Structure 1
Amino acid sequence: MKKVEGDRYDTWDGLVNEIYGVLQKQLPSDEMEQLRNEQRKWIEYRDSTAKAASLKYEGGTMEELEYVAVLGNLTEERCFELVEKYMQ
């Protein structure tokens, strides 16, 4: 299960980076700077949320699975947020 969730996260992470790269080419510099700051905050949020979720299984076999599953879920959501906000 960890492998599947890890692969799922890797796929969404690749997509969010691809979307971000497209936006770098399309957005005016002031909007891109705003997005860059927003993305940094989002990465901190993603990581801290995943860590907090995994702690309910601290020391158990589910801890790592929960961490990577939450990373995947949040990154998937972020992909859709970026497309809806900046690519419409």
Structure 2
Amino acid sequence: MHWTIGLLALAGGMAAASGAFAQQTDCKNPQTQMEMTSCEQDRYDTADKALNEQWKKTRAQTADVDTNLEEKDRGAEKALLTAQRAWISYRDAECQAEGFQARGGSMEPMLVAGCLANLTDKRTKELKELSDALGN
């Protein structure tokens, strides 16, 4: 029991230190591997939020397209959902593969996070272009 409480306290302390560390990191000029990894993770977190916002808009538009079609012609929202699920599988596998450039090393998490950020930014742009083409 004491062991579990000690582990939880250690994890909480590490999380607090990590949060403080992230606030102090200058991502325009990171100096350590830990800072570089933190910056790439922050970049991915930002990209993921933007993707989720765009996803909601684009999915709503495809649902709207479906409502304006005859039953036999519907499927825009389902096609988008299928594509997004396939893209997520691709993104995760691609970035895992990129991480193998430094497998087991301190650079691996940075490479994976950077890949996730890049591919997520690209997908957000693709969803925005689809949204623009749908005209809503």
TM-score, normalization: structure 2? 0.62
The alignment covers a number of residue pairs equal to 88
Residue segments in structure 1 that go unaligned for 5+ positions in a row: none
2:82 alignment partner, SS class: helix
Distance (Å, rounded) in 2 between the aligned partners of 1:82 and 1:39: 10
- The runs of 4+ residues in structure 1 deviating greater than 3 Å are none
Question: Considering only aligned residues, what root-mean-square deviation do their CA atoms show, in Å?
Answer: 1.1
Shift of 1:85: 2.3
Aligned partner (choices 113, 130, 135) of residue 68 of structure 1? 113
Look up the match of 2:9: none
Larger radius of gyration: 2
Identity of aligned residues (%): 36
Q: Summarize the Cα distance change of 1:78–1:43 in structure 2 as closer, same or farther, 3 Å threshold.
A: same
Look up the match of 2:61: 26
The Cα offsets for residues 23-81 of structure 1, whole Å up to 9 and x where unpaired, read as 22222342111000000000000000000000110111101100000000000000111
TM-score, normalization: structure 1? 0.93
Q: Which fold has the larger relative contact order, with Cα–Cα distance below 8 Å and residues 6 or more apart in sequence?
A: 1
